[in-house]
Structure 1
């Protein structure tokens, strides 16, 4: 873990310095960052935004009116088409791309939207995606190509993409509203901004991975620069680019509800939002499932399209043979449309045939809350007082006769300190220096609480960890990022966010890794978890909140559970992927020397899969931070709450500073986990230095 000259003694010195500062009668500026040192970023940003609105506002609003035309056209066309035609065409597309299983899933998914009575709302949401995705892909492809040809452009684009993908969408809703005005196009712009970065990254990656021999073959064939790009590089990189299109499509679907907040369209996102505000669990869940199903269908279709090998022209092939799939689709569409004119139910699904079981779902939740209120309250109380508060404000302030049933006397405090020192000394004398550092820091953290620790030592620890894992460049970036949080005056809110998200990530990763191990060992567990994972990743974040709010009410424990529900999925998937893709020859060699199944798992599979699992931890952190803003709706404090305050008060500065603060935390966590993963891969010989 350490580089030469930066050993564990520096860490232990920082831990002791933390204790020393906390023991001072009045810590002053050494513990709490002085307000007099803060820089007034907020009024400066508001003044800049006012200038932008005055100068560029008319042009942006004119663009908004222009873009409203294609949005209206697409929305009208999708609503004009009989539902049966859309159902048949999507089902056939699924069959042509992936076979019978996807076709059946698509058929049932689209039919659900019809039967549940949300067809028109679903088409309005699909119109937003149908416009935003091509525009996002076009922008992303153009910028990705520019970054491929220009190193200077790449250096600018990389941090820009990081910011766009880590700054919460709510943080930039206000400037979009101020510039473009209220309406559906505002939601379109927000979706494009959030959705195009994956295409940029995958375009760059795809173009770079084109084999050199392919390029040389194109040059030998006499291809010009444009021909080499469009006829050699792009076709060779198409699979990777299409994976970017897949991710862009999923990102656009994840913005459906947020787009409804500022767009005011009668779409499925608005249905989720309005029913959630009324605490109607059944109604919001049924509407949320529509978004999840649309996202899953489009995910499967675009992923299948990315796997299709380009078809080379065949000598003597007729027009019908070459375009058979398209001609069949045209025939099915026209035939279904004609049939819909004969059978009215194929055009307008009868209301009497709709099935809407919302009330049954509401009754089930009510029954659970009423009949098991004692158990629910006990779980909530135990988790809050015995796990969450110690991490937040420390055992020193948590242990009281009211919460734990006894007083945290001086004798008990000294006993705790002695125990923490003993286990740290034991680990140090055993040669386990990293464990000693971890135990020492954990002991201090649990005693004082993360939100009360002095800023100088936390700043030093973050910088030191970055230096040890990735060198001076990341250390400088971490120092500047954390310094911004201090100077902007959002350090206390940042620590509240780190506390809640950090605890959720640790629990999510522990749970997800355990389930991932089971899924890798047993195919039945993997098959059972796959649809659950798909649903949790495609279900709108707002909807994930609702069952927890209904059962556990407003509070930090509810937010913790909601974050865990969303953030556990990548830990499951990456753990399973890492364990299932260990080279067979390694497993055969371990088995040949007599490893039991347990030894094979703990001493061979897990160590080799750990770098991939750390990528899962990386994504778990990203998912947790993304959910923080949504969790702020249920009463949590922190940067997420600041984003809402800025949006609600029309204060651009407050919202964007908080959003940048969340992005800084996310980027630092991302770089640290990636650096650790790289280092571990090098140690295992899986990657060259």
Structure 2
């Protein structure tokens, strides 16, 4: 029996009537709080006197700890700073033709001539855009951060694999590392290490450890027991068995972990540009965005994108290996010699010839950003009227009702009519009648969903009383995952409410909900099309790969360019970042439907539409639900980045705390997002475990 079955066993034995009565009590208390929110304002707004002083306690703790740890941290910062200077100086010393040749050779070793050609073209763009020095500074931080993160992650993964206690502690730590916003890491590190690129470097290491730990644990856990027994029977000691049996077997997963760690480091380095102090590409992007130089931001943003794609494809190719290459030892030595000596000799020859260096440097910056700025501004000006109309329509008819509710959003100015008491009464009667009909017909879960959805649409996330929110989320967690998930739900929701972040939480939830709905609609349709057509699948694969390798910053640029600062800009950026999981999971789920089941549906006369609705999507439901979960996680992780363009949610609270170096408020806001992410993740995973098994990818 699995752990999930053990957790759910006591709950599953409860009578259905009992669960229905529990939900009736929860809905009754929620309705009572909604009805009394005007008479008793504390029902809607959590009283100030009841707030928990968590932020003050954290700040007090840092006031004690920071003076003690500062000398040690500053010494470590000096060592890392010297290493960073050496690394960046070495990369900048290499002339761009030599470095381009070096990367192209790495690409050839990783995946062949196609990747080598792509690498040369991508790095050539960086040269033409005039960001070669900044790109090398960014790359130097990644080059320094990855070995540290890989080493720490590998050691922690081995320890977690060997000890159940370490594993349980590690899993909790990984949950926090993967759900607490990256910006929240920067605040305590800024207090300990001071202003500068070292803070970004250390935050990069902390953020990038998690994938390496996961992949190491996965690889070590998949080593067959029979193989371990063979090693023991052969007389291997414990260390010999680890180095000669376990590690070679887990090599593929560990190398994949290095690839994922590299990409996580790359993403975090760009985000660390917010604190400044380093002439890298992230700082150029941020400056261009602040000055509204959209052409410049596009150029620098594409530099980040191509750097990330080159690093991702090379490291992934080296991790997977080229099956068609069977090298002798001599061939391997020759390739190593080429990689290590030839490009450096080429670079030394170029440095020895100042005229040659001056000639090749003329290529840098040949792309004029001013022309692109004028083109972009011209496009924005030409399409300003339809863009403004679209922005107003989405804000008034979708975003505002979810935020403040139909009862406040529907006015003659926005919708052309007022939300009168008669309309309100008809709306409530229809919602109650529909719920009663569903309840009496035995579909009481749908009835509850209809009631909760109707209340959210009527009052909005900002108009929902905090007590009703806690009760509904806790009841949902209990219904799906049992008492453990209910405990996490009540603790997490109460923490957010009791720390004074309930209003920003409502903003976050409505933005994430709308983004997830848009992603599932558009991404689901694209995923269905990709599952039905190999040609569409082949077209979507490079697009999804590109979107997954681009750092989060980049998604702000097109949204900011056309819609300026505001919540719609943040919503579009979140959608662009989170749309990949539904595309891939829907395609994978539908393609995983057994062929005999599809053939049977054809033989009984089902049309393609009937087969999709009644056969393929129901069978693919576990995978699709898991895709929804990943979409929610991606949307939540994008909130702090979207705060840069004016969203007023939990992400903005983290960003404000970062600007003030307020560790307490930053940690509280970061933990609030982490609680929301963990509750959502556990609910969706419990739903998947009830729905059925997930087919192997």
TM-score bracket relative to the smaller structure: over 0.9
Q: Quick one: which of 505, 516, 521 aligns to 1:510?
A: 521
Whole-angstrom CA distance in 2 between matches of 1:530 and 1:41: 45
Distance in structure 1 (CA, Å) of the matches to 2:520 and 2:355? 52
**Correspondent of 2:631 among 608, 620, 627:** 620
Residue 562 of structure 1, aligned match among 558, 569, 573: 573
Residue by residue over 1:173-210, the C-alpha shift from the partner in whole angstroms, topping out at 9 and shown as x without a partner, is 12111111122221110100111111011111110110
Q: Higher mean Cα deviation, 128-137 or 20-29?
A: 20-29
- The Cα of 1:96 is off from its aligned counterpart by 1.9
Aligned 8 A contact 1:282 1:357 in 2: no
Using the size of structure 2 for normalisation, the TM-score is 0.93
C-alpha separation between the residues in 2 aligned to 1:364 and 1:532? 25
Give the alignment of 1:224-243 within 5 angstroms: 224-243=237-256
Comparing 134-143 with 77-86, greater Cα deviation is found at 77-86
Residue of structure 2 in register with 1:442 after alignment: 453
The residue correspondences of 1:19-418 to structure 2 (distance < 5 A) are 19-24=31-36, 25-308=38-321, 319-321=329-331, 323-330=333-340, 332-333=342-343, 336-337=346-347, 340=350, 345=356, 349-351=360-362, 354-418=365-429
C-alpha deviation, 1:65, in angstroms: 0.4
Kept in 2, the 8 Å contact 1:140–1:199? The answer is yes
Give the gaps of 5 or more residues in structure 2. 1-7
Residue pair 2:160, 2:167 contacting (<8 A) in 1 also: yes
Taking the TM superposition and a 5 Å limit, the aligned residue runs for 1:632-647 are 632-647=643-658
> Deviation at 1:572?
1.2
Deviations 1:493-527 (A, max 9, x none): 21221122222112222211111111222233233
Superposed displacement of residue 309, structure 1: 7.8
- Mean alpha-carbon deviation: is it higher for 519-528 or for 563-572? 519-528
2:584 maps to: 573
Q: 1:151 offset after TM fit, Å?
A: 0.8
RMSD: 2.5
Distance 1:270 1:28, change over 3 A: closer
Distance 1:656 1:348, change over 3 A: farther
Tell me by how many angstroms 1:542 deviates.
Answer: 2.7
Residue aligned with 1:462, SS = helix
Matches within 5 A, 1:650-689: 650-682=661-693
Higher alpha-carbon deviation: 535-544 or 482-491:
535-544
In structure 2, relative to structure 1, the CA distance for the partners of 1:442 and 1:323 (3 Å cut) is same
Moved >6 Å (runs of 4+) = 309-314
> Which of 484, 487, 503 is the aligned partner of 1:492?
503
SS in 1 for 2:255: helix
Q: Deviations over 1:525-551 (max 9, x none)?
A: 233333333333333323322322232
On the 8 A contact 2:94/2:344 being kept in 1, the answer is no
User: Residues 261 and 377 from structure 1, CA distance in 2 versus in 1: closer, same or farther, beyond 3 angstroms?
Assistant: closer
Shift of 1:379: 1.2
Taking the aligned partners of 1:321 and 1:525, their CA distance within structure 2 comes to 39
2:480/2:683 contact within 8 Å kept: yes
Q: What corresponds to 2:5 in structure 1?
A: none
Give the CA deviation at 1:481: 1.1
Please list every run of 5 or more consecutive structure 1 residues that lacks an aligned counterpart in the other structure: none
CA contact 1:276–1:543 (8 Å) conserved in 2: no
Distance (Å, rounded) in 1 between the aligned partners of 2:401 and 2:300: 38
Q: Deviation of residue 395 (structure 1)?
A: 1.0
CA drift at 1:343 = 9.3
Q: Point out the more displaced range, 455-464 or 576-585.
A: 576-585
Tell me how many residue pairs correspond in the alignment. 682
Q: Given the two structures, how large is their TM-score scaled by the length of structure 1?
A: 0.94
Between the aligned partners of 1:313 and 1:222, the Cα distance in structure 2 is: 31
